[in-house]
Amino acid sequence: MPWRETTDPYRIWLSEIILQQTRVAQGLPYYLAFTEQYPTVFDLANAEEEQVLKLWQGLGYYSRARNLHTTAKYIANDLHGVFPASYKELLKLKGVGDYTASAIASICYDEVVPVVDGNVYRVLSRYFNISTPINSTEGIKEFKKVAIEVMEQEEPATYNQAIMEFGALQCKPQNPYCIVCPLNDSCESLQKGTVTSLPVKLKKLKVKKRYFNYLIFLVDNKHTVIRQRIGKGIWQNLYEFPLIESDNEVKLEYVEEHEILKESMSASSRNVTVYEEEFKIHKLSHQHLYTRFYIIRTNKSPKLDDSCQMIPIDKIKEYPVPVLLGNFIDSFFKV
DNA sequence: AACGCGGGGGG
DNA sequence: CCCCCAGCGTT
């Protein structure tokens, strides 16, 4: 892995942000793209947020990209490009929490601070047979304490990366091959037969259903309308098409009668069709989006509020969009 | 202390 | 269908 070949704090920081809640296989191409496009923290700081989000497109948890950019500007402009060099100071950076601060401090500055990520929770909970839920306040404190106690003092960078890799390759979530594990003679959960039930994690959230009705304007077959998502919620600062969200499935008439469409132009000057009757169900970890796309062909410029902008269709790929819309754009516009 | 936040991959 | 992933910020 390329981030194992450097101790440049910029690259270690970048790799750790990308890898938060993200598998190495998914994050690696993004790491390569970011280091290519932005070789230094100054290059990243000088970019527009929209460009950063575009390069981040598809990786999810977009607050990571926004915080990444904010922190890059802070380090480039206020700290003159010099990263904080301790766990305590790193922790103050936006988007850098306990795990990431420990990772950077140990890998770049040889500080003896343990990383406690999903892998480490699993290894420690099994080896010491600890059933405290890893996502409870108590569990977080308990595992951090244990991690500090058992941490090797000599090579913190190697130790931290090793215990994570041990969790990823040997002490795997499913079907760990304990018979060949080098720790099997002292692993408490293996002795007690609790390996498959550890680590303990508290309840999962209920998934919410939402209905997204996207309006795809085709003005003279050359322009379309998009707007940026603002405020709270999913996909903050990414772009999307004008959206009618509803509590339930709606019919074509509902969309045609909706004020967004009614006020945009007269019914006689447009033609509304459904792209695909079948819902496109986009699954996020906490909500399912039942999505339909409505194609609105017209020769007149629609009157929409100031948050919307009309753009040439051949420029649509320059805007950061969620995967759901990226897939639609690929299949519908074929650009 | 609980919740919101993406998307992909494996069993 | 489920769970998990080199977690963090907000409420």
Instruction: Decide: CB of A197 under 7 A of nucleic strand C.
Output: no
Nearest to A55 by CA among A65, A41, A45: A65
pLDDT confidence of residue A181: 96
DSSP 3-state assignment of A191? helix
The 10 Å Cβ neighbour count of residue A333 is: 14
Closest residue to B5 (CA, C1′): A61
Q: Is the CB atom of residue A15 positioned under 7 angstroms from any atom of strand C?
A: yes
Q: Please report, rounded to whole angstroms, the spatial distance between the CA atom of protein residue A205 and the C1' atom of nucleotide C1.
A: 16
Residue A30: CB less than 7 A from any atom in strand B: no
What's the start-to-end Cα distance of chain A, in Å? 33
In the numeric block, the tokens 């609105």 are attached to A296
A130 near A146, Cβ under 8 Å?
A: yes
Catalytic position from the list A16, A165, A253, A257: A16
In this complex, the answer to whether residue A98 has its CB under 7 A from any atom of chain C, a nucleic strand, is yes
Helix (H) and strand (E) counts for chain A?
Answer: 14, 8
* Mean pLDDT (10-residue bins), chain A, 335 residues: 94 98 96 98 98 98 98 98 98 98 98 97 97 95 97 96 96 95 96 96 87 97 96 96 95 94 91 95 96 96 92 97 97 86
Looking at chain A, list the stretches that DSSP marks H as alpha helix, in order from N- to C-terminal side. 9-18, 24-37, 41-46, 49-56, 63-73, 87-90, 98-109, 118-127, 137-150, 156-169, 188-192, 252-257, 259-262, 323-332
Protein CA A26 to sugar C1' B8 (Å): 8
Domains detected in chain A: 2-113 (1.10.340.30), 208-332 (3.90.79.10)
Nucleotide B11, nearest residue via CA and C1': A174
* DSSP one-letter code for A256: H
- List chain C nucleotides near protein: any atom < 7 Å from a Cβ: 2-9, 11
Q: Report which of A269, A225, A223 is spatially closest to residue A243, judged by C-alpha positions.
A: A225
Q: How far: A61 CA to C8 C1' (Å)?
A: 10
Helix (H, G, I), strand (E, B) or coil at A295: strand
Return the closest nucleotide (C1') to the Cα of A60. Answer: B6
A16 part of the active site: yes
Cβ of residue A143 lies below 7 Å from strand B = no
A114 CA – C9 C1', rounded, Å: 22
Per-residue confidence (pLDDT) for residue A29, from 0 to 100? 97
Note the CA–C1' distance, A105 to B6, in angstroms.
28
A54 touches strand B (CB under 7 A): no
Does residue A292 lie within 7 Å of nucleic acid chain C, judged by its CB? no
Q: Is the CB of A63 under 7 A from strand C?
A: yes
What's the CA A253/C1' B6 distance, rounded, in angstroms?
Answer: 32
